[in-house]
């Protein structure tokens, strides 16, 4: 059993982990930059350590500073949250070299899944259906032209190291392929330090469906159904729900078993998410995230379990606390990602929160680290909170979301709240009838937000 865990993160996810620690009787250590000295995670943890200046590269991304913070406080394990160093295999290696425990999978599994070409190859071999495309990387423009012509346009060129919606370029015809190829390569190099790219068929009307898996690191794994994250802007999720309104129980069990077997087959430890595009009843693997996802609470809501607690237990070497047959879906859950941004331009709007009032009541969960008088620093992600609602079915969850949104007050800064108010008035959102392109197309029509 761990006595003390250090959380290598900030914001709502740091609070999320601190809460799980407290319920498990484990002491928590917050780390923070100088810009975050007044942050809620610092106040809520049992101890805190300043690990550097505002710039993420000198604080939350500084491996030596994080290791020193563990040594100073006597923390035995590190929870990475999401983002920052959560999918950095080198970080895991250094943690282990110092006799500490990383709460997550092995460095090797992170490395395999962090490189999308290797991830796809591995998943294909494990029997997971993938998006049709190049066999591995594509090195020359001639090769790219030939593969695209054989497969048929449109195609998408993707940086193997890409993430966060960056490093992907669509070519709708042979006229675009040269530019798409060279831009994806140069973005891969400049943003992720790796120019390698591969090609996939560009699916035109898919939904984004992802399967939550959990492995015990000893060859046993379960799946916790899917999340539907089809409402996206610039390939980034905005609104997520579980279960998906379009997946049948037969489809859920089929793809869930494929995913659980795949991660069991590699002896995966902890939480993971296998992402798919779903079109015409077929699933196509796109990538695996080897960490907790931003949208994990919708899965927690419908299964009534604590995924962070489970991550900590698995890192302690304990078995999973549930079997596949214990995991029965109860109702429907929806999450809205609320950002400090001015809509409709989505321009970052950091600054002082004059007033904050969180919604409450039955089936409402607000995960946020803001408070009255808090100043949102301009240096980090613009996510300021996640509103999660849970109800007996999708219509109940939607009505509850509307009610909870009407209670939520964030004054002093601009937020994306008007976007959600407007979305709930849309027929497509009410019926769940949309693809990954719906939100952007709707935004182009100039909705009243
Ligand atoms: P990232 O790692 O940047 O999140 P992903 O590979 O997970 O990249 O893709 C993110 C999003 O990009 C998907 O949810 C989808 O909207 C879009 N996308 C990715 N691959 C394809 C494809 N082959 N066809 C159509 N859309 C795609």
For the chain, what is the mean pLDDT? 97
What's the gap in Å between 167 CA and the centre of ligand 1?
A: 10
Ligand 1 atom 1 nearest Cα:
163
Q: Which atom of ligand 1 is nearest to the CA of 166?
A: 3
Cis amide bond preceding 344, omega within 30: yes
Distances (CA, A) of 291 to 84, 88, 206, 254, 266: 11, 10, 24, 23, 16
Per-residue pLDDT tens for 414-427? 999 999 999 999 99
Q: Identify the pLDDT of residue 52.
A: 98
Q: Identify the pLDDT of residue 165.
A: 82
Average pLDDT (20-32) is 98
Out of 202, 276, 286, 438, give the residue to mutate to test ligand 1, the one with the largest number of ligand atoms within 8 Å of its CB.
286
Does residue 192 surpass a pLDDT of 90? yes
**% of the chain beyond a pLDDT of 70:** 100
Per-residue pLDDT tens for 338-365? 999 999 999 999 999 999 999 999 999 9
Average pLDDT (255-267) is 98
Alpha carbons within 13 A on the beta-carbon side of 51: 32
Which residues make beta-bridge pairs with 228?
209, 241
Average pLDDT (368-376) is 98
Residue of 111, 291, 337, 365 marked catalytic: 291
Does residue 314 surpass a pLDDT of 90? yes
Q: Are 17 and 308 in contact (CB under 8 A)?
A: yes
Give the pTM.
0.96
Q: Where in 266-354 does DSSP place strands (E)?
A: 269-279, 282-289, 332-339, 341-342, 347-348, 351-352
What's the gap in Å between 165 CA and the centre of ligand 1?
A: 7
What's the gap in Å between 428 CA and the centre of ligand 1?
A: 21
Alpha carbon dihedral 304, 308, 309, 311, in 10-degree steps, equals 120
**Ligand 1 residue neighbourhood (C-beta within 6 Å):** 131, 156, 162-165, 200, 202-203, 206, 208, 232, 235, 275, 277, 286-287, 436
Ligand 1 atom 2 nearest Cα:
163
What's the gap in Å between 278 CA and the centre of ligand 1?
A: 11
Average pLDDT (142-171) is 94
Distances (CA, A) of 213 to 15, 131, 258, 272: 23, 20, 10, 5
Does residue 9 surpass a pLDDT of 90? yes
Left if phi > 0, otherwise alpha if psi is -120 to 50, otherwise beta: which for 7? Answer: beta
Average pLDDT (160-179) is 93
Active site residue 124: no
Q: Which two tokens stand for residue 106?
A: 């092995």
- Which residue is it, tokens 């710039």? 55
């Amino acid at each position: 059993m761990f006595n003390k865990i250090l959380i290598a993160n900030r914001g709502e996810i740091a609070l999320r982990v601190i809460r799980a620690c407290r319920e498990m009787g484990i002491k928590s250590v917050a780390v923070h930059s100088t810009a975050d000295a007044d942050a809620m995670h610092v106040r809520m943890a049992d101890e805190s350590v300043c690990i550097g200046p505002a710039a993420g590269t000198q604080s939350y991304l500084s491996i030596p500073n994080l290791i020193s913070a563990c040594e100073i406080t006597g923390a035995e394990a590190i929870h990475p949250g999401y983002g920052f160093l959560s999918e950095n295999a080198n970080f895991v290696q250094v943690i282990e070299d110092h006799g500490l425990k990383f709460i997550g999978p092995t460095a090797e599994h992170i490395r395999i899944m962090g490189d999308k070409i290797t991830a796809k190859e591995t998943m294909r071999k494990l029997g997971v259906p993938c998006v049709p495309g190049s066999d591995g990387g594509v090195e020359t423009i001639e090769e790219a032209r030939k593969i695209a012509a054989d497969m048929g346009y449109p195609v998408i060129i993707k940086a193997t190291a890409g993430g966060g919606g960056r490093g992907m370029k669509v070519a709708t015809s042979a006229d675009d392929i040269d530019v798409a190829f060279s831009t994806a390569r140069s973005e891969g190099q400049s943003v992720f330090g790796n120019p390698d790219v591969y090609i996939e068929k560009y699916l035109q009307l898919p939904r984004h469906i992802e399967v939550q898996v959990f492995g015990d690191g000893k060859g046993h794994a379960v799946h916790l159904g899917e999340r539907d994250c089809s409402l996206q802007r610039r390939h980034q999720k905005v609104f997520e729900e579980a279960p998906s309104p379009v997946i049948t129980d037969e489809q859920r069990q089929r793809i869930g078993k494929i995913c659980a077997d795949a991660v069991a087959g590699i002896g995966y430890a902890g939480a993971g998410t296998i992402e798919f595009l779903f079109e015409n009843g077929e699933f196509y693997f796109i990538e695996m995230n080897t960490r907790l996802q931003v949208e994990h609470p919708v899965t927690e809501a419908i299964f009534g379990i604590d995924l962070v607690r489970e991550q900590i237990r698995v890192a302690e070497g304990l078995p999973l606390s549930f079997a596949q047959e214990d995991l029965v879906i109860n109702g429907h859950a929806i999450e809205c990602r609320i950002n400090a941004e001015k809509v409709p331009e989505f321009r970052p709007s950091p600054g002082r929160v004059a007033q904050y009032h969180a919604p409450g009541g039955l089936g409402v969960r607000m995960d946020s680290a803001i408070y009255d008088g808090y100043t949102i620093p301009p240096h980090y992600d613009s996510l300021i909170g996640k509103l999660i609602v849970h109800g007996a079915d999708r219509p109940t969850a939607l009505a509850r979301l509307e009610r909870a949104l009407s209670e939520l007050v964030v004054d002093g800064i601009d937020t994306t709240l008007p976007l959600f108010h407007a979305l709930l008035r849309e027929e497509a959102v009410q019926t769940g009838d949309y693809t990954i392109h719906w939100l952007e197309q709707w935004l182009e029509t100039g909705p009243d937000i």
